[in-house]
Amino acid sequence: MDWVFKRIPFPTFAKTEIMSRSESNKGNKSSNRSKKEGGQKASGREGGTFRKKSYSRGNAPIKGNGNGQSSSNPDLIRLNKYLSNSGVCSRREADVLITAGSVTVNGKPVTQMGHKVKRTDEVRFDGRLLNPAKKEYVLLNKPKDFTTAARNEHGNRTAIGLISKATQVELKPVGKMDKNTTGLLLFTNDGELTKRLNSPKNGLRKIFHIELNKPLRSADLKKIQDGLLVDQKVVKVHDVSFVDNAPKTQIGMEIYSSRSKIVTRIFQTLEYEIVKLDRVVYAGLTKKDLPRGHWRYLTDQEIVNLGMIN
């Protein structure tokens, strides 16, 4: 069951005119001093007609930030935020790394807190070049006849075109999906996550709804359950069975293998053709409330769950 945590709105209270006894006494003393000075009130917080030297904090002059950088310039970004957006760490942790001298800007170490950089600056952490683009994650329920290619080639419709309004950031699909395959396809600009999800050692959980060109024989179902030799390697599936209340051509399969087109190759080995192949679960993500051809952003919890995959 998915739990949604909501921030509880705390009530805000308007300022009241009630003063404490000590504040009232201070006001009386201030009034007495004004009378002694001929009815003239001092300037500053007390208001009046003549200037009086004040050492209160509220009258202290505003100091500049000391680095000559305009805080209102939209082209500048704080260095700690730059590191955070790059996925290195949180802003608070970034401050520690900056003061430790682990960050360089255009080849020079920067240790000053609050330092700002341009997005075009070359920022490195421990020698690694950083990308400040905010990480974005979009899940698409891909329809049939859409390719996962980045560009429209030979008049083919692309899946990336279906999420073109999701963001202005360039996103790439995690893995590939055949033109005729439908179902869940994740897009992101998080290169490190993409690398982990595509790694064969991770064995991500995937569930497919399969329709064959002919009924699957029980003997062949048993072969798949026991482990089938495909291209000189045994393929183990977590679960495979007939779909309830459906013809024997309808199969459900849960598999963790990351081998390319492995579901198609399993049935080709047994001399079956796949008519329809739909990925209904991918790495814990589901098609719930996501119609075919539509997309949605991942929730914060889903992003955290994917981030835990090593």
Does a structural domain hold residue 105? yes
Q: Are 283 and 194 in contact (CB under 8 A)?
A: no
Does a structural domain hold residue 42? no
Radius of gyration of the chain (CA): 32
Say how far apart CA 303 and CA 307 lie, in whole Å.
6
Q: How many domains does the chain have?
A: 3
CATH of the domain at 254: 3.30.2350.10
181 lies in the same domain as 224: no
Which of 89, 106, 129 corresponds to the end of one domain? 129
This prediction has a pTM of: 0.63
Say how far apart CA 163 and CA 295 lie, in whole Å.
7
Q: Parallel, antiparallel, or unpaired: how do β-strands 274-282 and 182-188 relate?
A: parallel
144 lies in the same domain as 250: no
- Closest to 295 measured CA to CA, from 147, 146, 64, 137: 137
96 lies in the same domain as 211: no
List the domain range (segments joined by +) for residue 218: 205-282
Burial, 87: exposed, middle or buried (Cβ in 10 Å; 0-12, 13-18, 19+)?
Answer: middle
150 lies in the same domain as 111: no
Does a structural domain hold residue 162? yes
Q: Are 129 and 153 in contact (CB under 8 A)?
A: no
Say how far apart CA 153 and CA 147 lie, in whole Å.
9
164 lies in the same domain as 228: no
Phi, psi of 147, deg, nearest 5: -90, 160
CATH of the domain at 174: 3.30.70.580
User: What is the identity of the amino acid at 167?
Assistant: T
Say how far apart CA 97 and CA 122 lie, in whole Å.
17
- Closest to 71 measured CA to CA, from 114, 111, 41, 101: 114
Residue 192 is inside which H or E element, if any? helix 191-198
Q: What is the pLDDT along the chain (310 residues), one digit of tens a residue?
A: 332 323 323 333 333 333 433 444 444 544 455 444 455 544 444 455 555 555 444 444 444 444 445 446 777 889 988 888 777 778 888 899 999 999 999 999 999 989 999 878 999 998 888 877 788 999 999 999 999 987 766 677 999 999 999 988 889 999 889 999 999 999 998 888 888 898 867 678 999 999 999 999 999 999 999 999 999 999 999 999 999 999 999 999 999 988 889 999 999 999 999 999 999 999 999 999 999 999 999 999 999 899 888 7
220 lies in the same domain as 195: no
First-last CA distance in the chain: 24
Phi, psi of 173, deg, nearest 5: -70, 145
300 lies in the same domain as 193: yes
Q: Parallel, antiparallel, or unpaired: how do β-strands 274-282 and 206-212 relate?
A: antiparallel
293 lies in the same domain as 278: no
Say how far apart CA 150 and CA 136 lie, in whole Å.
17
248 lies in the same domain as 259: yes
